[in-house]
Structure 1
Amino acid sequence: MRGSSRTSVRRAHPPGKIERMSGHSKWATTKHKKAVVDARRAKSWAKLIKNIEVAAKLGGPDLQGNPTLFDAVLKAKKTSVPKDNIDRAIKRGAGIGGEAVEYSSIMYEGYGPNGVAFLIECLTDNKNRAAAEVRTALSRNGGTLADPGSVAYNFSRKGVIVVPSEGTTEDDVMLAVLEAGAEEVEPHGDGFGVITEASDLVSVRTALQDAGIEYDSADVEFVPSLKVEVDADTARKVFRLIDALEDSDDVQNVYTNFDLTPEVQAELENDDE
């Protein structure tokens, strides 16, 4: 889980002002947090909409005949993207009623704090802007751009299906996907992650559907061949860099090779938000 990069210092208030200051601080903090959540949700929606546009452009607007679009729409719905926004994105992507959208896909490679490997996937209509924003985010947060191929060799394209644990077990998931080409079922947050070859993603997620098992998302991602454990301080710096990269509208996905031990996760969970 992500830990906050902030440290908290308690200040002693003069007698008689503690309650008032505490109340004001709580209101201001709540308002700030809501603004941050709203901004992040807007950025998240924009990236999901872009996925839908690209999927519709590449495979057409029919959800049943375009599994990539089906999964992009499913993911958007589970993140509460309004239906009208989804419908408009499909039409824009397919060029219905106007010209189809045009995005360039670019993959940047880099290193973060303590040499953590980064793959940064961009979808953009302005390559120069995307390059500048990625470079700035890296340089301001302890990272550097790397030569093409120097990082990518450590990652493989895999299908990743996220299954919530509610109403199912790991054994249920294993039985459903075993014959469909799944490579691995592993813990993923509060649920399970099903790892497949990229070419087997559709058949494995179809096997889950046939078994009546719901999934939250099914995407092709870049999975590291070897993960590197980091301490809590490095993890905070890495998360800070990830946040800075994801602040760019052109950055679609960020992949890294760092891993957290249970002890480090526990320390991060104790950080003040």
Structure 2
Amino acid sequence: MGRAFEFRKERKFKRWTKMAVQFTRIGKDIAIAVKEGGPHPETNSKLRTAIQNGKAVNMPKDRVDAAIKRASDKDMAGYEEFVYEGYAPHGVAILVETATDNTNRTVANVRSYFTKTNGSLGKTGSLDFIFKRVSTFTFDPKEMDIEELELDLIDFGLEDIFVEADEDGNDIAVVHATFEDFGNMQKALEEKGIELRSSKLERIPLSHAQVTEEQALDVNKLLDKLEEDEDVQAVYHNMEE
């Protein structure tokens, strides 16, 4: 009974830690969006996207509103966005997106994570041949005709649409569009009355590195360190799952 209690306690702690990191990242997305396009989601699609993503991870409305208010303060310093690229052990490509108010701290931390796990940082753009930038949107498919929707979205940059199971085992529709058509696809989905669960620009690997289970543990050590850093917004890799 004692072990079971400790296991549940550890799982709960990890869940809350993950949630706290997600809230921090979305708070930065909100701040960046407000600085770029103002505090009104009706006229700021990037802010609208950040708020949608906040809802998807159950970020409280008062925290969203507070983030918008802070970012609206002209005296508040903004965040700078940087991308770091490199290799984990066993030839696995890693791409790290960051948003920071202290670039020296961020690059020092990222470099140390790679170094301590026997990885190596590379030059910006060195992994362009491995990762492709795409626009990704998710929503509840309900009773929707996905094949009909696919035909409707082709003119808005659609590359792929499919239904898969989310973490809770529920169906979720996923739309991939070209990087350049993020705004067009977002507008098209909203005009069809589809309530988006999340919308983001992400990177998908064009090739994969195959590793053993033991080697995957080495790679995951680096991924975990990066994921836990508050300056890191997203981490991508090409390790075969």
TM-score if structure 2 supplies the norm length?
Answer: 0.87
Does the CA contact (< 8 Å) of 1:45 and 1:81 recur in 2? yes
State the Cα deviation string for residues 182-229 of structure 1 (Å, max 9, x = none).
122245554343222223112212222233333321112223333344
Quickly say closer, same or farther: Cα 1:125–1:168, change in 2 above 3 A.
same
Paired residue for 1:114? 90
Asked whether the equivalents of residues 160 and 220 of structure 1 are also in contact (C-alpha less than 8 Å), the reply is yes
Q: How many residues align?
A: 236
Residue identity matched to 1:161: F
Provide the C-alpha distance between the structure 1 equivalents of 2:154 and 2:141, rounded to a whole number of angstroms: 18
Contact 2:31 / 2:78 at 8 angstroms: preserved in 1?
Answer: no
Please list every run of 5 or more consecutive structure 1 residues that lacks an aligned counterpart in the other structure. Answer: 1-22, 261-273
Instruction: Quote the residue 1:204 is aligned against.
Output: 185
Aligned to 2:194: 213
Q: Give 1:25 shift.
A: 0.7
Q: Does 1:161 align with 2:141?
A: no
Aligned counterpart in structure 1 of residue 207 of structure 2, from 226, 231, 239: 226
Which residue of 81, 84, 89 corresponds with 2:67? Answer: 89
Cα distance between partner residues in 2 of 1:142 and 1:176: 48
Q: Secondary structure at the match of 2:9?
A: helix
SS of the aligned residue for 2:35 comes to helix
Amino acid at match of 1:255: Y
Bigger CA radius of gyration: 1
1:172, distance to aligned residue in structure 2 (A): 4.6
Kept in 2, the 8 Å contact 1:154–1:225? The answer is yes
**1:246 maps to 2:227:** yes
The one-letter amino acid of 2:80's match is S
Say whether the 8 Å CA contact 1:162–1:188 is kept in structure 2.
no
The share of aligned pairs that are identical, in percent, is: 31
Whichever residue aligns with residue 202 of structure 1, its letter is G
For the pair 1:102 / 2:83, whether they are aligned, the reply is no
CA distance in 2, matches of 1:54, 1:162: 22
Bigger shift: 204-213 or 106-115? 204-213
Determine the C-alpha separation between the residues in 2 that align with 1:173 and 1:241: 40
Q: 1:38 maps to which residue?
A: 16
Partner of 1:267: none
SS in 1 for 2:39: coil
Shift of 1:166: 4.3
Query: In the alignment, which residue of structure 1 is the partner of 2:29?
Result: 51
Instruction: Tell me the TM-score normalized by structure 1.
Output: 0.78
Change (3 A) 1:144 1:166: farther
> Does residue 131 in structure 1 map to residue 107 in structure 2?
yes
Contact 2:135 2:177 in 1 (8 A): yes
Q: Aligned AA for 2:51?
A: V
